[in-house]
Structure 1
Amino acid sequence: MKKAFLVFLCAAAIGTAKAQVQFGVKAGANIANIVGEDAEDAKMKIGVNAGAFARLSIAESFKIQPEILFSTQGAKSEESFAGETFETKMNLSYINVPVMFQYHTASGFFAETGPQLGILASAKMKGEGESVDIKEDLKSIDFSWGLGVGYQFAQGFGVNGRYNFGLSNLPDEGDGKLRNGVIQVGVFYVFGGK
């Protein structure tokens, strides 16, 4: 039993030592919305995302990429009253921590999927020159699942697109059905190239 355990430990240590870790930075645009049964009038809103990542190679084509990103999300809505249109924006800011499982091809293309944990940093409702803090009305933790594709050039630069499906209900109380839905497009750079 002890020999089997020692063999397992040695194999794990060798596997970890051979695993290649790369680091990178990324930034891009969000096309965010609030989706769900109760999100009737919600419209897409442009935001940004930026952060850093580590990429761990577990096999030639398979990699795990944990990230930490600042992401502006939310939605906007428009209402007409007395012949005028008024716009309201829900501005949400998150610190997102996705962990993406990637499959890379020799040509540079890759596909990815994985879970994401979001920590709500701020939440404001803005309209008609006024701003109201709504952070206490929303859950502080948001879970979602990401699906994406990308391409990396040999020099380390790349482009990617991802959609994050919100899994958590946003309101802290009540039975309103509202979730985040975010399309992300952006660029990244991996230090050290491919």
Structure 2
Amino acid sequence: MKKIIAISILVFYCYSGQAQVLMSLIFGDKLNSPNIEFGLEGGWDVSTIHAKNGAKALSGFNLGFYFDFNLKNPAWMVNTGVIVKSPMGAKGMPVYSLNDPELDNSFEGGSVSTNLRYFNVPIMMKYQFKNHIYVKAGAQLGLMNKAFDEFTNETESGDDLVLTKQTRDNYHPIDAGLAIGAGYRLTGGNGMNIGIQYYLGLMDIEVDDSGPMQTNRVFYLTAGIPIGKGKAAKRQKEKEMAK
């Protein structure tokens, strides 16, 4: 019961990156058990929007937490969690009208970056080989947090002119698609894991569906660190010795 309460509190606070890290450090050893591994995961990602005119890759940093739930066969597990911070979108698109002649003139010849922010939840089956290499595949769901376009242009003086336009109403609040990944566990299969993951969006992200279907594409390079796993293992050993 205590473990369920701790997980519920952690999920509730995941909407803040700082709170997520703090709660993870506090409850890390409580969330780990012989059949559950909990940890923090973060790294670098590159995203784009398929079928968006002029879209180029946009890079950023991601951060979240993960759970590995062991099944009866120890090589198989369910891998899930929440990617709390995950910049998605694309850059390099041509500017469009802001319905303001002065602004349109200022940004003529510039470019637009589309920035999308989701809370992403991957749900995958994971298989770890005896050599500590693992593979995983499944689905990923996303709940949009915010969206904005950033207009940029260089002025005659060489300075950058920047304008941000909120665009959340232009996108569906839910995204979903397929996710696959692979990686390696260090320290004999019990330490940090280094992995790659690819997300293939299957839903049209734009509310206006008069144009081609636009979908998210993201490549992740991550490092996962178990939180409190050593303490949890020690606590379990003490319980077994006390029997």
Q: Does 1:157 align with 2:170?
A: no
Q: Does 1:172 align with 2:207?
A: yes
Q: In 2, distance between residues paired with 1:85 and 1:112? A: 44
Whether the aligned pair in 2 keeps the contact of 1:24 and 1:188 (CA below 8 Å) is yes
Identify the match of residue 101 of structure 1 among 125, 130, 136.
Answer: 125
Give the 5 Å matches for 1:64-79: 64-70=78-84, 71-79=86-94
Give the 5 Å matches for 1:37-186: 39-58=52-71, 59-70=73-84, 71-79=86-94, 86-128=110-152, 129-154=162-187, 155-176=190-211, 177-186=213-222
- Per-residue deviation at 1:87? 2.5
Structure 2 counterpart of 1:34, which letter? I
Give the structure-2-normalised TM-score: 0.66
- Per-residue deviation at 1:78? 4.6
Match of 2:18 in 1: none
Whether the aligned pair in 1 keeps the contact of 2:53 and 2:93 (CA below 8 Å) is no
- Per-residue deviation at 1:79? 4.3
3-state secondary structure, aligned to 1:173: coil
Whether the aligned pair in 2 keeps the contact of 1:53 and 1:65 (CA below 8 Å) is yes
3-state secondary structure, aligned to 2:207: coil
Give the structure-1-normalised TM-score: 0.82
Q: Deviations over 1:69-96 (max 9, x none)?
A: 1211000025499xx9522110111100
Greater helix fraction, Structure 1 or Structure 2 = 2
Q: In 2, distance between residues paired with 1:146 and 1:31? A: 14
Structure 2 counterpart of 1:188, which letter? G
Q: Deviations over 1:49-71 (max 9, x none)?
A: 11111111111211101111121
Identity %: 23
- Per-residue deviation at 1:29? 0.9
Q: In 1, distance between residues paired with 2:68 and 2:46? A: 25
Q: In 2, distance between residues paired with 1:85 and 1:19? A: 58
Can you give the 5+ residue segments of structure 1 that lack an aligned partner in the other structure? 1-17
- Per-residue deviation at 1:146? 0.4
Instruction: Give the RMSD, CA atoms, in angstroms.
Output: 2.2
